[in-house]
C-alpha cells in the first residue's frame, strides 16, 4: 500500500535496494487521512468525554461518601447516606438469575441449530434468534409485567414451599399452609425480573455459542463418527470442547448485558434498598433502575451519587466484557471469530 509506482528517483538512484522507501502521498491521500483521522479522534473525544465526565462527577459523590459507598445499603444522598451495597448486589442477583435460566436454553438452542436442525431451516432459525435480540426491551418488560408476573406465582410458591431450607428460596411472611394467604409476597421479585431479563440476554448468548459451534472442524466431527460415536458422543467429544471458549465468553457477554438492563427491571420490581437474598420475595433494586427512578428528583449531589453508581456498574460490566473477549480470543475457536 505504501509503495507508489511514481517515484523515479527511488527506483533509479536506489543505493540500498532492500531499504523500505518512505511513502510519498498525494494531496488527496493526505486530505483523506486527515479526514478519517479526524473521525477517529472525534469518536475518541466523545467516548472519552463520557468516561471522564462520568468519573469526574462520580468523584464528587465518592468524596462525600468515602469508603462507606461500598458498604452502605440505603440511598439517601441528601442525608449523605448512600452506597452501592444493595443496588449493585441487586443488579448482580438479577443478572445471575437471568444467566442461570438463559444458559441451558441458549446452549440447547445453539446446539440444536448447529447440530440437529436440517440445513433448509437453519437460516430461518438463526434469523429468529437475531430477531429475538432486536425485540425492544420494553416489549419484554410489558410481557413480564402483564402476563408472566401473575402466571409465575405458582412456581414461586412451590419453590418457596418445598425449598425454603435453601436460603435464597426462603420467603419471609409467606404461609404455605394457609390456602388463602396473600400472594403478593411473591410478586415484583428478583426472580421474575431475572427471568424476563433472561429472555433478553438469551439470544446474545445463543448466537455467540452457535457461531463457535459451527466452526468446529469437520474433520474431527467425521473422525468421531468414524470411531463409532453417536451424535451426542460427537458433540461431547468434539463440539463442546472446541466451543468451550465461546460458551464461557458468550455467557459473560450476556451477563454484562443483563447487568445494564433498565426498563424491564424498572417495570417489574418494587424498589427496596436492602440486600435481599430471598430472590422469590417482593423487593429488589438494580443500578440502572435506580438511575431511571431517581434522576429527576435529585439534587446536584444526588446526580453525582447516581453517576457514582453508574460508574461502579460500568466498571463491573467493563471487567466482565474484557474477560469475556480475552477468553474467546485465547480459546481454540476464537482465532477467527469476532465477539
* Binding flags for another protein, 131-170, as an x/- string (CB under 8 A): xx-xxxxxxxxxx-xxx------xx--x------------
CB 271 within 8 A of CB 161: no
Q: Which of residues 77-136 bind another protein (CB under 8 A)?
A: 104-109, 111-113, 115-117, 125, 127-132, 134-136
- Tell me which residues in 9-28 interact with another protein (CB under 8 A): 25-26, 28
Q: How far is the CB of 43 from another protein (least distance, A)?
A: 4
- Identity of the residue, 29 or 78, whose beta carbon is nearer to another protein in the bound complex: 29
Stretch that binds another protein, among 10-18, 241-249, 300-308, 326-334 (CB under 8 A): 300-308
Q: How many CA atoms lie within 13 A of 235 on its CB side?
A: 14
| From 11, 31, 70, 277, residue interacting with another protein (rule: CB under 8 A) | 31
Give buried/exposed letters for 103-115 (b at 16+ CB in 10 A, else e).
beebbebbbebbb
Number of residues that bind another protein (CB under 8 A): 98
Site for another protein, residues 191 to 250, rule: CB under 8 A: 199, 202, 206, 225, 229-233, 235
Work out which of 149, 187, 317, 333 binds another protein, going by CB under 8 A. 317
Q: From CA 143, how far away is CA 147, in angstroms rounded? A: 5
Nearer to another protein, 5 or 8 (CB): 5
By the 8 A CB rule, do 137 and 264 touch?
yes
291 binds another protein (CB under 8 A): yes
Establish if 259 lies at the interface with another protein (CB under 8 A). Answer: yes
Helices (H), the chain: 8-12, 27-65, 68-71, 85-111, 119-134, 137-143, 149-151, 153-162, 190-213, 218-226, 231-234, 240-242, 244-259, 263-268, 287-294, 300-330
Residue 110 or 168 with smaller CB distance to another protein: 110
CB of 117 to another protein, least distance (A): 8
User: Residue 338, interface with another protein (CB under 8 A)?
Assistant: yes
CA angle 110-314-331, nearest 5°?
Answer: 40
Coil, strand, or helix at residue 328?
Answer: helix
Q: Which of residues 37-56 bind another protein (CB under 8 A)?
A: 37-40, 42-44, 46-48, 50-51, 53-54
Nearer to another protein, 64 or 105 (CB): 105
Distance, CA of 333 to CA of 243 (rounded, Å) = 6
Rounded Cα gap, residues 251 and 243, in angstroms: 12
Among 306, 308, 327, 328, binds another protein (CB under 8 A): 306
Contact pick of 164, 237, 325, 326 for another protein (by CB under 8 A): 325
Minimal distance in Å, beta carbon 267 to another protein?
A: 7
The backbone region for 205, taken as left when phi is positive above 0, alpha when psi lies in -120 to 50, beta otherwise, is: alpha
From CA 68, how far away is CA 83, in angstroms rounded? Answer: 7
Amino acid at each position: 500500500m505504501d509503495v507508489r509506482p511514481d517515484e523515479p528517483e527511488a527506483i533509479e538512484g536506489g543505493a540500498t535496494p532492500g531499504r523500505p522507501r518512505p511513502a510519498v502521498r498525494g494531496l488527496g491521500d493526505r486530505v483523506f487521512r486527515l479526514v478519517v483521522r479526524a473521525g477517529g479522534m472525534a469518536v475518541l473525544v466523545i467516548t472519552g468525554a463520557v468516561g471522564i465526565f462520568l468519573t469526574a462527577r462520580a468523584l464528587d459523590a465518592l468524596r462525600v461518601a468515602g469508603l462507606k459507598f461500598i458498604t452502605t445499603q440505603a440511598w439517601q444522598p441528601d442525608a449523605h447516606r448512600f452506597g452501592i451495597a444493595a443496588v449493585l448486589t441487586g443488579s448482580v442477583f438479577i443478572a445471575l438469575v437471568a444467566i442461570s435460566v438463559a444458559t441451558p436454553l441458549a446452549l440447547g438452542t445453539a446446539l440444536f441449530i448447529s447440530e440437529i436442525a436440517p440445513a433448509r431451516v437453519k437460516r430461518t432459525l438463526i434469523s429468529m434468534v437475531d430477531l429475538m435480540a432486536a425485540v425492544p426491551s420494553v416489549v419484554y418488560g410489558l410481557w413480564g409485567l402483564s402476563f408472566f408476573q401473575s402466571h409465575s406465582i405458582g412456581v414461586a410458591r412451590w419453590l418457596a414451599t418445598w425449598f425454603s431450607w435453601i436460603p435464597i428460596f426462603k420467603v419471609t411472611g409467606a404461609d404455605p399452609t394457609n390456602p388463602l394467604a396473600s400472594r403478593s409476597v411473591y410478586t415484583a421479585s428478583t426472580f421474575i425480573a431475572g427471568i424476563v431479563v433472561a429472555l433478553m440476554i438469551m439470544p446474545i448468548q445463543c448466537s455467540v455459542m452457535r457461531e463457535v459451534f459451527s466452526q468446529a472442524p469437520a474433520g474431527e466431527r467425521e473422525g468421531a463418527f468414524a470411531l463409532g460415536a453417536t451424535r451426542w458422543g460427537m458433540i461431547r467429544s468434539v463440539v463442546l470442547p472446541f466451543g468451550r471458549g465461546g460458551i464461557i465468553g458468550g455467557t459473560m457477554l450476556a451477563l454484562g448485558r443483563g447487568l445494564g438492563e433498565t426498563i424491564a427491571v424498572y417495570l417489574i420490581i418494587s424498589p427496596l434498598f436492602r440486600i435481599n437474598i430471598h430472590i422469590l420475595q417482593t423487593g429488589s433494586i438494580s443500578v440502572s433502575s435506580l438511575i431511571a427512578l431517581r434522576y429527576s428528583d435529585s439534587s446536584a449531589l444526588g446526580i453525582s451519587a447516581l453517576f457514582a453508581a453508574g460508574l461502579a456498574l460500568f466498571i463491573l460490566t467493563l471487567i466482565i466484557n474484557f474477560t469475556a473477549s480475552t477468553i474467546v480470543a485465547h480459546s481454540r475457536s476464537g482465532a477467527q471469530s469476532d465477539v
